[in-house]
């Protein structure tokens, strides 16, 4: 087994470069190392100016998403050994503006996420003295899958629709909207519908399905969007056939 592997890392310094260029680094090839370990090695030993985001190293915080050999990956959950003998290309997540090296600008997602009201909407809160809102295991099961999202944005990097048209609400935001729509404690579905059944919402999706493939948390955003399309279509028919009785 070779004891070194080459990483080709995209470097971009907004003050000096007009576009990213690749720089090669040789790092020890260790079976137990993930791509993030290799990046940390570069930063600690070879080039302290390399910028990238990470925090938990356990696939929970969602901050270490990058393109590894052209595929969106959580670098803390992607082993170097899968890319032996190398070289491995590491780039910033696709479809987002690059701030520096491997760091992307994600405000666009944050704004969209807030728009779909990803919190429990209630008509009136019951007083704390009346206790918690109870939920059965079945009710939890309805939305649990969609609640596993860690906002890593790998799905946005995999989505050609978002790449071509940044106005598209995008996979994770819609999956998270659906997470609250399906929650038995929530009554916000109608408020969310306005944003979601927009042309830039669910109907922007052409069902490429790659968001689901790359999602490290098995959220299945493509499924969430198609299920929402079915719901929205049924609702539309209802409002059409029974002008008053719909909702």
Number of residues near ligand SF4 (by CB under 6 A): 14
Assess 90 for contact with other proteins (CB under 8 A).
no
Q: Whole-angstrom Cα distance, residue 38 to residue 20?
A: 20
For residue 217, the partner it binds in ligand FES, ligand SF4, other proteins, none, with Cβ less than 5 to 8 A by kind, is: ligand SF4
CA dihedral 107, 111, 116, 122 (to 10 degrees): 110
Among 1, 32, 107, 124, binds other proteins (CB under 8 A): 107
When asked if residue 43 is in the footprint of ligand FES (CB under 6 A), the reply is no
The entry of ligand SF4, other proteins, ligand FES, none near residue 212 (CB within 5 to 8 angstroms by kind) is other proteins
| Contacts to other proteins from residues 31-60, by CB under 8 A | none
| Residue of 104, 116, 154, 161 interacting with ligand SF4 (CB under 6 A) | 154
Q: Can you say whether the dihedral through the CA atoms of 139, 142, 144, 150 is positive or negative?
A: negative
Scan residues 148-187 and list those touching other proteins (CB under 8 A): 160, 163-164
Shortest distance, position 209 Cβ to ligand SF4, whole Å: 13
Q: 171, 188, 201, 204: which one contacts ligand SF4 (CB under 6 A)?
A: 171
């Amino acid at each position: 087994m070779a004891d070194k592997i080459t990483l080709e890392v995209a470097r971009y310094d907004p003050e000096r470069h007009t576009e990213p260029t690749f720089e090669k680094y040789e790092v020890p090839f260790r079976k137990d190392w993930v791509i993030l370990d290799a990046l940390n090695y570069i930063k600690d030993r070879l080039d302290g100016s390399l910028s990238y985001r990470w925090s938990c190293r356990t696939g929970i915080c969602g901050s270490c998403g990058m393109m590894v050999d052209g595929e969106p990956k959580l670098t803390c959950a992607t082993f170097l050994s899968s890319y032996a003998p190398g070289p491995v290309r590491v780039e910033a997540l696709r479809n987002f503006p690059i701030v520096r090296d491997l760091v992307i600008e994600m405000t666009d997602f944050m704004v969209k996420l807030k728009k779909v009201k990803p919190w429990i909407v209630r008509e009136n809160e019951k007083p704390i003295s009346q206790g918690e809102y109870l939920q059965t295991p079945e009710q939890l099961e309805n939305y649990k899958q969609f609640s596993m999202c860690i906002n890593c944005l790998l799905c946005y990097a995999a989505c050609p629709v978002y790449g071509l048209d940044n106005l598209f609400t995008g996979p994770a935001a819609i999956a998270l909207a659906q997470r609250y729509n399906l929650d038995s404690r929530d009554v916000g579905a109608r408020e969310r519908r306005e944003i979601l059944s927009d042309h830039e919402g669910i109907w922007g999706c052409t069902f490429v399905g790659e968001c689901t493939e790359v999602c490290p948390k098995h959220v299945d955003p493509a499924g969430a969007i198609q299920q929402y399309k079915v719901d929205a279509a049924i609702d539309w028919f209802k409002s059409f056939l029974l002008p008053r009785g719909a909702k």
